[in-house]
Structure 1
Amino acid sequence: MDPYDLQPPPNQDPLGDISVLYVNVLLRAAEAEGVNVGDLTRRFQLSEQTLTSSAARISIPRFMRLGHAAIQACGNAALGLRMGALSRPVDAGIAGLAGESSSTAGGAIQTLIHYSLLTSRNSRGTPEAEPEKRRLQFYSIRPYNPFNYFVVDSVLSAWTQFLRTVTGQWDVLEKVTIEYPSTGLDEMFEAWFRCPVQFGAAMNSVTVRQDVWNQGTVQTQQAMHEKLVRLCDEEMREIQRGWTTGDRVRSLLTPLFKGETPSLETIASKLGVTPWTLQRQLSAENTGFRELMDDTRKQLARDYIRETETSLSEIAWLLGFSNPAALHKAYRRWFGLSPGEHRKQFRKMTKSGP
């Protein structure tokens, strides 16, 4: 099954969402233009926890409002180009790193686009690479207005910058087509892309030069490329299975348990939503935050007891219990026997096994 054919999981924004990796690029570009990004992050309720969480995403409408506010603050209508200029392969997550280590520029950009679902989802469509035409196409996001011009600009310029980075070349394109009509910045766009730019076109696209498409990359490393592609495939399979909000909460809880009990507010912030929204999403899945936390602790406790020789005091700390006695009490509630008794049972089963 092609992951791009999947319907979005329930409880996500119907228009789509985008990783805070790209939010950070936007903020970096705004700051470079002299904007006080602290004001922006406060206005759009983007906490440090949200901005530093690899799992956090924000809705597409929120991202567009943030970009529009940044453009109003700096007065640069071409802020999307600035975003592209400041983007790095790592800003596309493991897909960017997988692409960067590819053997050719064409393979690199195809890798980046193939795994775009790992960092963004939009109900309008998905980006496409057409290798036979050396063309990279970004889907239509009509109707166009000052809130979404920069989205097209940032995507096309980020692809261009990616190609420049992986090849070490500056002139990488044959042409650029942009669906929205000219806003009077044609010369600036042609100077930045260093090729003809057509506004009011039938599609949003960049066409890569033949010699660049086949050129080797400066960071090629086949073994690392294969490993990173496997990681991308694993994450794509998780998306194909349709992670619920509960799944995302569980994935964040484990590293946060150590020595403390994570709060609903902390997890909500890392997911880029309000506590109330997180509660509502979990309720729609017939679960709750405390229930998920208890179930996650239960599964981890069983694995620690069964698979390791870790002491009970250390397991208690790893699961965020105040002391071993609290772990002991919870363990009896979960399994009907003490951690020590359960460990003996596991050891006995192991010894009697084949």
Structure 2
Amino acid sequence: MPYTVWFRYVKVVLHAAAKANLETQTLLGAVGLDSSILEATDARIPHEKVYALWREITRLSGDEAIGLRLVQLVEPEVLDVVGYAAYSSSNVGEALSRFIRYSRLIHEGAKWTLETKGNVTQITHSVPGSHLPLPGVLCQWVLATIIVNVRRMTGLNLVPLQVGFQHQQPDDISYYRELFQAPVAFEQAVNSFTFDAAWLNQPLLKSDPGLCALLDRYAEELLAKLPRTENIVDSVRQEISVGLRGGDPGLDAIAKKLKFAPRTLQRKLKEAGTSHQELLDEMRRELSIHYLQERQMAVYEVAFLLGFSETSAFHRAFKRWTGTTPGEFRRTLSESAYINVKI
């Protein structure tokens, strides 16, 4: 089952985008979401749609650092159960622990860690089961959300020791330095920042043990309603992703890596409601759409990256997946961009 994102938190992003003069209806329409979803309380949407939304926010704003800026436009009042639970905790350590525990409500596939060694604590974020690269603007939003809200919760201008991002370094990193006030690194294995472990004991301005206990119960109830993640499916997705980056995404190779006989792996995937070929096709389809949006990448390069021996085979597969050819898909994107600009 593909990862999903709680739309309540997408609405927080849209709320901030609207304050930055980006039209909500335009953003939703550009990524194929109906505006009626704004009224859905507990809707969940595929994380690929959220990635596309962030790319559209970047395109429309023309701002490479828009993720960092939008976080600062979010008022704490629009946060939901996860945010309120964090704000009502006793100290920073409890707030971060609650955020990590309940983060699956926001994004099922997100992996967070919080680890202290000596006097230094590190918090990390990644989506290991996703074959799509995280948009840089999403990486910005994730880490800026932590530091901005820690500062708001404590009323202190706490400064991390180091910040690391998975995405490539943009041409201008001045706003990163201005916000974090710390050394910034790019193209890291995970999104992360390290800070003085003394932060963990810093009390919060709006600590409320009674409210916190109530929110904990509510958040646990919501977590219990989420479908359990199929670990075998995630593992196969991850190995296919690695295989498509220069390895072998075939069934036999992946079965060997996961220490299963190919027939056993096929059976386990069937029990999970999918197959190796379905997962491979799903990844190739989504990656092809992602790569074709990169104008500088030729179609034959996309075909090669997806493991097709011939461009013609990629053309046939893409038409089977989408009903259109790669060239037609790109022309449609160009026309859509032109219409949005004219509007």
TM-score between the two structures when normalised by the length of structure 1 = 0.58
Matched length? 227
Residue matched to 1:127:
112
Does the residue aligned with 1:39 lie in a helix, a strand or coil? Answer: helix
Q: Once the 2 structures are TM-superposed, how far is the Cα of residue 92 of structure 1 from its aligned partner?
A: 5.1
Residue matched to 1:207:
194
Q: Once the 2 structures are TM-superposed, how far is the Cα of residue 140 of structure 1 from its aligned partner?
A: 5.2
Does the residue aligned with 1:180 lie in a helix, a strand or coil? Answer: coil
Contact 2:111 2:127 in 1 (8 A): no
Residue matched to 1:218:
205
The answer to whether the aligner puts 1:227 opposite 2:207 as a matched pair is no
The answer to whether the aligner puts 1:150 opposite 2:137 as a matched pair is yes
Q: Once the 2 structures are TM-superposed, how far is the Cα of residue 116 of structure 1 from its aligned partner?
A: 0.5
Residue matched to 1:23:
10
**Structure 1 pair 143–57 and aligned structure 2 pair: CA distance change class (3 A):** closer
Q: Once the 2 structures are TM-superposed, how far is the Cα of residue 165 of structure 1 from its aligned partner?
A: 1.8
Contact 1:181 1:199 in 2 (8 A): yes
Q: Once the 2 structures are TM-superposed, how far is the Cα of residue 226 of structure 1 from its aligned partner?
A: 1.5
Within 5 Å, which residues of 2 pair with 1:247-262?
none
Residue type at the aligned position of 1:121 = E
C-alpha distance in structure 2 between counterparts of 1:144 and 1:19, whole Å: 19
Q: Once the 2 structures are TM-superposed, how far is the Cα of residue 154 of structure 1 from its aligned partner?
A: 0.8
Residue matched to 2:306:
none
Instruction: Give the counterpart of 1:198 among 176, 181, 185.
Output: 185
The answer to whether the aligner puts 1:162 opposite 2:149 as a matched pair is yes
CA RMSD between the two structures: 2.6
Residue matched to 1:41:
28
Residue matched to 1:182:
169
Instruction: Give the counterpart of 1:173 among 144, 155, 160.
Output: 160
The answer to whether the aligner puts 1:136 opposite 2:111 as a matched pair is no
**Structure 1 pair 179–40 and aligned structure 2 pair: CA distance change class (3 A):** closer
Indicate the structure whose relative CO is greater, using CA pairs within 8 Å and at least 6 residues apart: 1
Larger Rg: 1 or 2?
1
**Structure 1 pair 129–69 and aligned structure 2 pair: CA distance change class (3 A):** same
Residue matched to 1:53:
40
Within 5 Å, which residues of 2 pair with 1:252-331?
none
**Runs of 5+ consecutive residues of structure 1 not aligned to the other structure:** 1-11, 243-283, 285-354
Contact 2:5 2:105 in 1 (8 A): no
Contact 1:179 1:204 in 2 (8 A): yes
Does the residue aligned with 1:26 lie in a helix, a strand or coil? Answer: helix
Q: Percent identity?
A: 24
Q: Deviations over 1:134-189 (max 9, x none)?
A: 221001568776x7111111111111122112111223422211122311232220
Contact 1:25 1:83 in 2 (8 A): no
Contact 1:171 1:194 in 2 (8 A): no
Q: Once the 2 structures are TM-superposed, how far is the Cα of residue 83 of structure 1 from its aligned partner?
A: 2.8
Residue type at the aligned position of 1:61 = E
Does the residue aligned with 1:182 lie in a helix, a strand or coil? Answer: coil
Contact 2:163 2:194 in 1 (8 A): yes
**Structure 1 pair 130–171 and aligned structure 2 pair: CA distance change class (3 A):** same
Residue type at the aligned position of 2:24 = V
Higher deviation after alignment, 103-112 or 178-187: 178-187
C-alpha distance in structure 1 between counterparts of 2:144 and 2:113, whole Å: 15
Q: Once the 2 structures are TM-superposed, how far is the Cα of residue 107 of structure 1 from its aligned partner?
A: 1.0
Q: Deviations over 1:273-330 (max 9, x none)?
A: xxxxxxxxxxx9xxxxxxxxxxxxxxxxxxxxxxxxxxxxxxxxxxxxxxxxxxxxxx
C-alpha distance in structure 2 between counterparts of 1:187 and 1:164, whole Å: 20
Q: Once the 2 structures are TM-superposed, how far is the Cα of residue 89 of structure 1 from its aligned partner?
A: 4.8
Q: Once the 2 structures are TM-superposed, how far is the Cα of residue 48 of structure 1 from its aligned partner?
A: 4.5
**Structure 1 pair 38–73 and aligned structure 2 pair: CA distance change class (3 A):** same
Does the residue aligned with 2:12 lie in a helix, a strand or coil? Answer: helix
Residue type at the aligned position of 1:67 = W
